Structures are given as structure tokens and as C-alpha cells.
């Protein structure tokens, strides 16, 4: 399976991803990930999912500007599809935190205008951003 990286606007930053662990319970099925099936024994978290760092657990979940658990700080995007087996809730992944992306292609959507600047956050330039 080849990752769909339509959201990636340039190769800049692809050589400096960080290893993270995703908390599958903080992601939305069919938006952020696909569950395993009888025909496809491995599920996967989609490439391009926006994530934030959960302060208490150290894991990462879906970025949410209204969250109060650390996910309100945009940490970056899942770089490559991250496979997992049935019953797993913690999934290793690569974090794309620096570079340029096509906003309209991000799985589940993302409004860059709602991202509060934060020194601990991602350094991403958004192309095709939603105009105010």
C-alpha cells in the first residue's frame, strides 16, 4: 500500500520527521483511520492527519483547537500511513512538523486560521488556506 500524500506541497521537511505514538482512541474512525477487516487484516492511520500532543499520556491524538488536554496545540501531520493490527490502541507513526502542505487535501480538514501560534507547535506553511 502506498501512502496518499496529496496534502504534501513540497519535499521540504520530509527528511526531519519525528517518531511519535498515536492514541487511536483520540482519532475518528473512517476520517483519521481505517479499521482492519477480514479482507485487509491491518488497519491504518491515514497520512496527513493533523495531531496534537496529549500532555498527560505523552501520546498524540487528533488536533482539536477546543481541546484542553494538549491536543489544542497543533504538533503536525502524520507523515506516512501508520498500520496497526486489531485490538491495538497505540500506533507508532512519523510526525511531519516542518514544511509546506496543501490545506484542502488534509484528511478530516483543517482551518489554519484556528491554529494558535505556539513555540511548541508545528512550523507548517499552509497553501490554499481558507480565506476569512
Grid cell of 35 as nine digits:
479499521
The answer as to whether 104 is a domain residue is yes
Give the CATH number, domain containing residue 25.
2.40.300.10
**Domain-located, residue 107:** yes
Domain count for the chain: 1
Q: What is the pLDDT of residues 41-72, one digit of tens each?
A: 899 999 999 999 999 999 999 999 999 999 99
Q: Give me the phi and psi of 58, to 5 degrees please.
A: 80, 0
Note down the domain range covering 47: 8-127
- For the full predicted model, state whether its pTM sits above 0.85: yes
What's the rounded Cα separation, in Å, for the pair 39 and 50? 28
Q: Name 1's Cβ contacts closer than 8 Å, sequence gap at least 6.
A: 44, 81
Cα–Cα distance measured from residue 88 to residue 43, given in angstroms and rounded to the nearest whole number? 10
Can you give the pLDDT at residue 2? 54
Average pLDDT rounded to a whole number, residues 20-26: 98
Q: How far is CA 57 from the centre of its chain?
A: 17
| pLDDT (tens digit per residue) in 83-124 | 999 899 999 999 999 999 999 999 888 999 989 888 889 999
Q: For residues 110 and 117, what is the distance between their CA atoms, to the nearest angstrom?
A: 15
Query: Has residue 132 been placed in a domain?
Result: no
Q: Is residue 26 part of a domain?
A: yes
Amino acid at each position: 500500500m502506498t501512502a496518499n500524500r496529496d496534502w504534501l506541497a513540497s519535499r521540504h521537511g520530509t527528511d526531519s520527521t519525528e517518531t511519535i505514538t498515536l492514541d487511536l482512541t483520540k482519532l475518528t474512525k473512517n476520517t483519521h483511520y481505517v479499521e482492519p477487516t477480514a479482507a485487509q487484516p491491518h488497519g491504518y492511520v491515514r497520512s496527513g492527519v493533523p495531531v496534537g500532543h496529549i500532555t498527560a499520556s505523552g501520546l498524540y491524538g487528533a488536533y482539536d483547537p477546543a481541546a484542553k488536554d494538549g491536543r489544542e496545540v497543533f504538533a503536525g501531520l502524520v507523515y506516512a500511513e501508520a498500520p496497526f493490527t486489531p485490538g491495538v490502541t497505540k500506533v507508532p507513526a512519523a510526525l511531519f512538523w516542518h514544511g509546506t502542505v496543501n490545506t484542502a487535501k488534509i484528511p478530516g480538514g483543517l482551518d489554519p486560521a484556528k491554529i494558535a501560534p505556539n513555540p511548541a507547535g508545528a512550523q507548517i506553511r499552509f497553501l490554499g488556506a481558507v480565506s476569512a
